[in-house]
Amino acid sequence: MRIWTWLVLIAIALPGIAAAQSTKSPYAGEQSREIKSLSSQQVSLYMKGAGMGLAKAAELNRYPGPMHVLELDAELRLSDDQRAATEKLFHAVKDEARRLGAEIVELERELDGLFVAGEITETELTRRVTEIGKKQAELRLAHLRAHLKQRVVLTAEQTSRYVELRGY
């Protein structure tokens, strides 16, 4: 065949190949997850009580977080009392976040199970999603509340230094 014939055939075939490739779902492969709505990384973060950006409204508006304050202990020149108060606050929010995170993971697992079993109803779906949403709100509130409490522990100068050190 001539080169022109090959080029015409390729030009005709390419749009079809591209269309076939673009119909693949971005969720492909996720159907094998233990909990379809959560990646293993998300499950891990919930179970560890990680912040997951839930307190950005505070963090980016000059309300320091206890974990980062402890990381910057020397640079902020925390007093013994400030360090003790920050450690107490950090452990309290971490414990609450782990508890809530575990509850969220379990609620997501149960919801997934109802879909797997084909037993979900509109009423049950509404109840379960509402319950998950409330737990997620409690988790965010716990993280934001920690920032609110942490700001009171620091001086205005320490807060300004924190903001500078964090690059804000």
Positive or negative CA dihedral for 162, 148, 51, 84? positive
pLDDT digits (tens, 9 = 90+) for 124-151: 999 999 999 999 999 999 999 999 999 9
Distance separating alpha carbons of residues 139 and 141, to the nearest angstrom:
5
Q: What is the mean pLDDT of residues 54-77?
A: 98
pLDDT at 9: 47
Domain boundaries, given as residue ranges, for the chain: 35-165
Instruction: Provide Rg for the chain, Cα atoms.
Output: 25
Cβ contacts of 91 within 8 Å, gap of 6 or more: none
Distance separating alpha carbons of residues 109 and 131, to the nearest angstrom:
13
Distance separating alpha carbons of residues 151 and 153, to the nearest angstrom:
5
Cα 13 to its chain centre, rounded Å, is 42
pLDDT at 7: 47
- Cβ-in-10-Å burial (0-12, 13-18, 19+) of 25 comes to exposed
Distance separating alpha carbons of residues 140 and 49, to the nearest angstrom:
11
pTM of the model: 0.84
pLDDT at 16: 54
Q: What are phi and psi of 116, to 5 degrees?
A: -60, -45
Residue 39: other Cβ atoms inside 10 A: 12
pLDDT digits (tens, 9 = 90+) for 7-53: 444 555 555 555 555 578 889 988 889 999 999 999 999 999 999 99
